[in-house]
Structure 1
Amino acid sequence: MGRKTVYVSDFSGAVLDSADELVRIVVLEHPDLVAGPVRLEARQDEVESIDDAALDVAVVEIHDGQGDGEPRRVVLTASEFDSLATDVPMAQLLRTAERVKPAKTGRKAAERVDYATLEHAGKPHRGKTTGEEARLVRDHLDEINKRLADEGLRQIDPADPDHAERYGFARSTDPD
């Protein structure tokens, strides 16, 4: 039995002749985007005008004076932003302005998940399982499995060799 993959443009619904015609577009920000970035696929000729339509923009964050609260992120044309500088040209102002460290991507240290708590113990993760997490899983297996199931995550099976090793369950010996 053979398989055939058919590629279809998300923009026009047109069937593509081959994967070579395919272009993937990741939409990072859009007013109608509610759940984070998405990927769209289209024919190359359908997206050629994107570069021509690109705007020179400035993306700025506006923080209140005390540094409280979340900053507002604003996108405006570069020329509109440049017009705000009335004493010296914006290009000069940007060259001499104080540098800031870019915001860290991902979770902040304070937002890291602590798997050694009943709230998070047993959740799949790449890191090493601590002794405290393993103890919590062994001592509260039913409660943790219920939480995992409610969250749509895999449950812990003490008979699974990987789970037994990760959480320190005694392996049962099967007398044949």
Structure 2
Amino acid sequence: MGKKTIRVSDFSGTVLRPEDEVVRIVVLEHPDLVAGPVQLEATPVEVESIDDAALDVAVVEVYDQPDGEPRRVVLTASEFDAMATDTPMAQLLKTAERVRPPKARKSVERLDYGTIEHAGKPHRGRVTEEEARLVREQLDEVNKRLADAGIRQIDPADPEHAARYGFPTAS
């Protein structure tokens, strides 16, 4: 028994043949979107009017609560422009103070190389005595894990590895 997959346009339900051109649309925001962005597929003809239907909008964040989260508001550009009564909005936007995006915090998980699950993995930092001891005492297990992960293995005969992990060197 075999399976046959038939692709259809999410917009019209039309069957898409393998040779048909398909356009991918990612929906980032929509009032009915509850669990984050989704993707849809359609034919180019079905979405050719998407640019014509596009609105000129202003997306603004309103910070009206001290230390609170801002409210994001989308309104037509003309409605937003009308709020500027003294100086035209185009002029205000040219001369307004720039907002720097918040610095992205790197939430890099620090690996503990002093544990058997990470001992021997290549890293720039200093090899602790605990990591070196684990590598020396459990070299076969460490090398198997490294090989399984596609990482270089530790060779006690390699002078660099011997010095890094405290293997005795032949003089």
TM-score after normalising by structure 1 = 0.59
2:90 counterpart residue number: 91
> Closer, same or farther in 2 for the Cα pair 1:19/1:6, shift >3 Å?
farther
1:147 counterpart residue number: none
Secondary structure (helix, strand or coil) at the match of 1:75 reads strand
Q: How does 1:71-90 map to 2 (within 5 A)?
A: 71-90=70-89
Q: Mind listing any 5+ residue stretches in structure 2 that lack a counterpart?
A: 135-141, 155-171
Secondary structure (helix, strand or coil) at the match of 1:21 reads coil
Quick check: which has more Rg, 1 or 2?
2
2:69 counterpart residue number: 70
2:148 counterpart residue number: 162
1:114 counterpart residue number: 109
1:32 counterpart residue number: 32
Percent identity for Structure 1 against Structure 2: 63
Q: Mind listing any 5+ residue stretches in structure 1 that lack a counterpart?
A: 139-156, 169-176
- How far apart in 1 are the matches of 2:38 and 2:76? 24
- How far apart in 1 are the matches of 2:110 and 2:150? 17
- How far apart in 1 are the matches of 2:27 and 2:93? 28
Secondary structure (helix, strand or coil) at the match of 1:36 reads coil
Secondary structure (helix, strand or coil) at the match of 2:74 reads strand
- How far apart in 2 are the matches of 1:40 and 1:128? 42
| RMSD of aligned Cα (Å) | 4.0
Shift of 1:41: 0.4
Shift of 1:44: 1.2
Which piece of structure 1 moves more, 51-60 or 20-29?
20-29
> Any runs of at least 4 consecutive aligned residues in structure 1 with deviations exceeding 4 A, and if so which?
3-6, 127-132, 163-166
1:46 counterpart residue number: 46
> Closer, same or farther in 2 for the Cα pair 1:18/1:164, shift >3 Å?
closer
> Closer, same or farther in 2 for the Cα pair 1:89/1:4, shift >3 Å?
same
1:61 counterpart residue number: 61
